[in-house]
């Protein structure tokens, strides 16, 4: 069987997996770090991709490749294909006021009307994470840079474009030059921009979605910029340049449309309507697949698209695995010791509660909030109680996201716990107590990269059979956790979470 490659260009690193297109069996893999920060020169992503591909043994023998990536990041290009300024990432909150301004402008001064208007138009109430707010910030804070913008892309769009051989004029690694009209994306990532309606009929009448250039103009002050073509789930965006991938394959390597990271992980897990994934990575994400998106004017749920033609509803927190990192720093311990300490304290930590808004927060929308610790007494001033409070606080934020999905009548049949922190012994013990549901923990994996590889296999199959479905790769559940509800944890958290 042919080989396919999946790429995850995430906040922290680039991962590349090479898999058998038929079975999904892993053949080889590689990774490379990205720099820290909330604004990054995209050239670092290109360098990391090439390093990860080299570590994976090269991509000359792959017949298709697709890229999953961090959502919302603003990659602004000028007419020569140069990056106008460092990309503003999803976790950069400087555009929080821009989000508020845009909400009120759409609502003719009413925040409530504006919030519902944005939810109806795009599935999401604006927060600082979304790309459109960063465009407004750019217009107001850096007008000279805003005037140079000729195209707007997302991180995965930009990397796919570079894989195809395009890029800045004069760059030897971009032999096809700055052809901005060759940019492409998919519905899942486009639906997180704030200027795309995934539910709308596209220009071809297929219901593929449509850009809302009127909203783009509201943010940037003009709409004469190139936006990536939006492809269907198994539609190729072109061919990889042979210097990057596919040089040993007849006809070269097809490039899939790619996906936003959450949609990529959903595809990698084989999620279907009724499945809920709770992902604990750099951000915390509670996601659900459903036939159509919501239009939640409260802003608790973002109604995006997935990578298969369904909708993907998300509740996203900025504070997830880094809360555990902060706990390790405060307590001076490693992850194993953190788990031992946390599980030595009782559920509810005898009233010690952490509201973990350590980097502001996205859901609820509190970009300027700080973390707060409640219930400090002599009896709770122990390392064990503090460790427990950090773990419980992080999980309570995710449980609120699960409640928000319930409030939108999203079906919940199965809960999957994924992400790096999902392997923590403390998280696996406390999650069933906080969420109050049975939980499946799949084998650890690079689910975004795996989803991208599965999409690449789908694109390859569709090239010879337009009716081909996504390959039925299997996901192994390593652990099943029984529900163990401890209401005191959520009750204590609910009593103090708004005291910020």
Q: Any idea which residues carry the catalytic annotation?
A: 261
- Residue among 365, 276, 277 at smallest CA distance from 317: 365
What's the rounded Cα separation, in Å, for the pair 382 and 106? Answer: 50
pLDDT at residue 201 in the model: 67
Percent of the chain with pLDDT over 90: 85
Per-residue pLDDT tens digits for 314-330: 998 889 999 999 999 99
* DSSP 8-state code for residue 70: -
What's the rounded Cα separation, in Å, for the pair 234 and 109? Answer: 42
Q: How many CB atoms lie within 10 A of CB 151?
A: 22
Per-residue pLDDT tens digits for 36-78: 999 999 999 999 999 999 999 999 999 999 999 999 999 999 9
What's the rounded Cα separation, in Å, for the pair 171 and 139? Answer: 28
What's the rounded Cα separation, in Å, for the pair 409 and 405? Answer: 7
- Per-residue pLDDT band for 282 (boundaries 50, 70, 90) equals confident
pTM of the model: 0.89
Per-residue pLDDT tens digits for 419-450: 889 999 999 999 999 999 999 999 888 999 99
3-state class of 214 per DSSP? helix
Whether the CB-CB separation of 276 and 286 falls below 8 Å is answered with yes
Burial 323-343 (b: 16+ CB within 10 A, else e): bbbbbeeebebebeebbebbb
Superfamily grouping for domain 3-269: ATPase, nucleotide binding domain (3.30.420.40)
3-state class of 269 per DSSP? helix
Q: Average pLDDT for residues 450-466, to the nearest whole number?
A: 96
Q: Name the packing angle between helices 321-331 and 383-407 (round to 10°).
A: 170
Give strand ranges (E) for 216-266. 229-231, 238-239, 254-255, 259-260
Whether the CB-CB separation of 220 and 135 falls below 8 Å is answered with yes
pLDDT at residue 273 in the model: 86
Q: Average pLDDT for residues 353-361, to the nearest whole number?
A: 93
Per DSSP, the residues of 150-198 read -EEE-HHHHHHHHHTTB-STT-TT-TTB--GGG-EEEHHHHTTSSSEET
Q: How far is CA 326 from the centre of its chain?
A: 22
pLDDT at residue 203 in the model: 52
Q: Average pLDDT for residues 385-393, to the nearest whole number?
A: 98
| Domain ranges across the chain | 3-269
The torsion of the CA quartet 291, 292, 294, 300, rounded to 10 degrees, works out to: 50
Whether the CB-CB separation of 127 and 96 falls below 8 Å is answered with yes
- Per-residue pLDDT band for 363 (boundaries 50, 70, 90) equals confident
What's the rounded Cα separation, in Å, for the pair 141 and 229? Answer: 28
């Amino acid at each position: 069987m042919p080989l396919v490659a999946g790429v995850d260009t995430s906040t922290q690193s680039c991962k590349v997996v090479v898999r058998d297109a038929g079975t999904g069996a892993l053949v080889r893999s590689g990774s490379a770090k990205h720099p820290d920060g909330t604004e990054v020169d995209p050239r670092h992503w290109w360098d990391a991709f090439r390093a990860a591909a080299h570590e994976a043994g090269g991509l000359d023998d792959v017949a298709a490749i697709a890229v999953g990536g961090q959502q919302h990041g603003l990659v602004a290009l000028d007419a020569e294909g140069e990056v106008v300024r460092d990309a503003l990432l999803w976790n950069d909150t400087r555009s929080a006021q821009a989000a508020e301004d845009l909400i009120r402008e759409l609502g003719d001064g009413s925040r409530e009307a504006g919030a519902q208007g944005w939810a109806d138009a795009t599935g999401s109430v604006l927060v600082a994470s979304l790309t459109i707010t960063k465009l407004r910030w750019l217009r107001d804070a850096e007008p000279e840079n805003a005037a140079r913008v000729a195209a707007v892309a997302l991180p995965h769009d930009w990397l796919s474009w570079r894989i195809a051989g395009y890029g800045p004029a004069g760059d030897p690694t971009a032999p096809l030059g700055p052809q901005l009209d060759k940019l492409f994306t998919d519905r899942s990532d486009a639906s997180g921009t704030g200027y795309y309606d995934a539910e709308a009929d596209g220009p071809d009448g297929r219901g593929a979605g449509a850009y809302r250039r009127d909203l783009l103009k509201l943010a940037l002050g003009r709409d004469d910029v190139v936006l990536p073509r939006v492809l269907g789930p198994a539609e190729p965006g072109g061919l990889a340049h042979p210097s990057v991938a596919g040089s040993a394959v007849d006809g070269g390597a097809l490039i899939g449309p790619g996906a936003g990271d959450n949609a990529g992980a959903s595809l990698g897990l084989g999620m279907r309507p009724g499945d809920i994934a709770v992902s604990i990575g750099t951000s915390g994400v509670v996601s659900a697949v459903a036939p159509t998106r919501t239009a939640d004017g409260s802003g608790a749920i973002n109604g995006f698209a997935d990578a298969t033609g369904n909708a993907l509803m998300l509740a996203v927190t900025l504070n997830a695995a880094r809360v555990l990192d902060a706990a390790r720093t405060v307590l001076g311990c490693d992850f194993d010791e953190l788990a031992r300490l946390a599980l030595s304290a009782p559920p509810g930590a005898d009233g010690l509660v952490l509201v973990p808004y350590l980097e502001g927060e996205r859901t609820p929308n509190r970009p300027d909030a700080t973390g707060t610790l409640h219930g400090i007494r002599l009896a709770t001033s122990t390392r064990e109680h503090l460790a427990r409070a950090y773990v419980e606080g992080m999980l309570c934020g995710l449980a609120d996201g699960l409640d928000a999905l319930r409030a939108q009548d999203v079906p919940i049949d199965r809960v999957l716990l994924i992400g790096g922190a999902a392997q923590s012994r403390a998280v696996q013990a406390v999650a069933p107590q906080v969420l109050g549901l049975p939980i499946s923990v799949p084998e650890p994996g690079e689910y975004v990269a795996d989803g991208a590889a599965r999409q690449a296999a789908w694109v390859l199959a569709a090239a010879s059979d337009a009716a081909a479905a996504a390959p039925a790769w299997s996901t192994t559940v390593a652990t099943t956790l029984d529900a163990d509800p401890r209401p005191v944890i959520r009750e204590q958290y609910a009593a103090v979470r708004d005291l910020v």
